Structure 1
Amino acid sequence: MHFSAKTLRRFMGFWPPYLGAGVRVVEFADDGSRVVVKHKLTKLNQNAVGTVFGGTIMSMTDPFYMLASMARLGKDYRVWDVAGEVQFLKPGTGTVTAVMEIPDETYELIKEKTADGQKYLHWFATDVTNENGEIVAKVRRQVYYRRRQEA
């Protein structure tokens, strides 16, 4: 199944886990090059010590490299989010932001690596920052790519 970036942006705005946690997609480029996600800390979504849940920070990046790649590469590719790592550097307070970018060169590399039908695993890195631009967490995501074979 293939979705446009516009459809994905709308859907993620009403997706219950994000809606309940206060995670908001503020940008999803039509060409799959950039996604910006924000979380505003409130009394209803803070953890026991008054900061952003670590799971919320991790989930802010969870599907977006996969979804952006699906929007860009289309139905000719199998795309799957397969791994994630996070390093928490300081407590998340106020509004935290994750900016995920996939440059054209990365999409060209993906196409090159999968041209013969082989799988390709690519690591992406994102910093989650606070309102002062300080890094709250470093997140890495690994995405699986394989060009679909003709039946």
Structure 2
Amino acid sequence: MSKPIYVLSGPNLNLLGTREPEIYGKATLDDVRVLCEQRASSLGRSVVFRQSNHEGQLIDWVQEARKEACALVINPAGYGHTSIALLDALKMLEIPIIECHLSNPAAREAFRHHTYVSLAATGVVSGFGAASYELAVEAAAKLSA
């Protein structure tokens, strides 16, 4: 079997469904996990789905993905706007990187318009709620074929 697609989510995404549902939707992180697993399975792939509120943990998983994953989907959440360390870890990957956001950062506050992750990403999917993850998994699968 081929390597899995890593799907990583950053801080506060564990509170999906209750945290600002008017922005992030009512789907829980578990709902998002199921969407990703189902989409990956329909494409003959699997996912490793993880979330952390800790920058160092996300970096450890990105480094792990260098050898263990065929592609990476990452919703860096607030770390996208602040973490050069996460960018540096992503720049070491030689697999497709899909940056994913539930909302459309370009339509929100000015500080959200730029993410460091975009500097390393192959592509960005944003603004489709939980379906952003599903679309990102599809893109990752196609790019890693």
TM-score (norm 2): 0.30
Q: Which has the larger radius of gyration?
A: 1
Larger helix share, 1 or 2 = 2
TM-score (norm 1): 0.29
The answer to which structure, 1 or 2, has the higher relative contact order (CA under 8 A, 6+ apart) is 2
Larger strand share, 1 or 2 = 1
